[in-house]
Amino acid sequence: MNINWYPGHMKVAFDNFKKNLKLIDIVVELIDARIPFSSKNPKIDEILENKPSVLLFNKIDLADEYTTKKWKEYYESIGKKVLLVNANQNKGLNNLRQILEDELSEKFKRDEQKLIKDKTIKMMMVGIPNVGKSTLINTLSKRTGAKVGNLPGVTRNIQWIKTPGKIELLDTPGVLWPKFENKEIGLNLAFVGSIDDDILDVENLSYELIKKLNKIDPNILKNRYNIEFDLDTDIAYIMDMIGERRGAILKKGIIDYDKVSRMILREFRLGKLGRISLEKVSDFFG
C-alpha cells in the first residue's frame, strides 16, 4: 500500500512558509510523538538555514514514554532543542517562553545594544497536518480563535495570533512533502490521521495497522478487544473476531469490514489501545 498525498494548497503553503521566514524570530516545529521520524518534514530543515528553531513533540500522552525519551535524546544529540508537550492538557508548555528566550539570547543582546526594550517574540508554528497546531495555538493564546479539527489540513490561511506571554504566533497550514522516502513513512502518517482518510483504502490501512501493532505487542489488540490469536493468525481473521466482539456485522452474518477498519483506526488515534509509539530510534539509526 503506497501512499502519497500533496494537495495544491500544501505547495502554496510551503512557498509562503519560505517567504515569511524573514518576518519571524524563531520556528517551532510540531511533530507527533508516536512517529517522531515520519512526522518531521525533511523540507523544513532544508530551508531554515540559520533561523533558530525548537522541536515540539506533541501528543506525548498517546506515545510510549520510554520510546519518547529515547527520541528526545536522539534529536538533542544532533543539536535540536526539544520540548515534550500535550497541547490538549496544557502539559509542558510552561517552559516554552524560557526555551524560546534561550534560543534567541543573541538577538536579545543585539536589541539591548540598540536600546530596543520590546521582547516580543515572533514565532512561526509549522508541522504536518493534524499534528495539533491549532490546539496548541488555542492553548497558548487562551482563546478559541484558531479553528480546530480532526481532519488534516483544516488551517488553510496564514494568520498572526497574539498571546498573553508576549509571543506573536504566525500560524501556517499543515504541510507534507511531495514524495515519501519509503512506504513505512506514508503508512505511519496515515495511521495517525495526517493523510485524509477519504483518499485511502481504510480496510487496507487498518490491515496494515494491525500488522504493525502485532509486531510491537500482540497483547495490544488482545486486551482491547478481548480476543485470542497466535502470531501466525491471518489478519483478516483477527478483523473478523474484532467485528464479532463489537457487533460490526451486516445482514447474513457478514462482517462489516469498513466499520471495523474505521473503529480500529479511530481507537488507535484516540489512545484507546494504549500509549503506543510506532517508531523507535533503532528503526532508523541503528
Positions at the binding site for GTP: 58-61, 130-135, 174
One DSSP character per residue, 249-270 reads B-GGG-B-HHHHHHHHHHHHHT
The residue among 31, 104, 44 whose CA lies nearest residue 74 is 31
Share of the chain residues as helix, strand and coil, in percent rounded to the nearest 5:
50, 15, 40
Count of residues for the chain?
A: 286
Known binding-site positions: 58-61, 130-135, 174
Contacts of 58 (CB under 8 A, 6+ apart): 30, 31, 32, 33, 85, 86, 87, 127, 131, 132, 136
- Alpha carbon distances (Å) from 230 to 204, 214, 227, 237, 238: 21, 10, 10, 11, 10
Contacts of 82 (CB under 8 A, 6+ apart): 54, 55, 56, 57, 72, 75, 76
- How is the beta sheet containing 26-32 ordered, strand by strand? 82-84, 53-58, 26-32, 121-127, 167-171, 159-162
Kind of pairing, strands 167-171 and 159-162? antiparallel
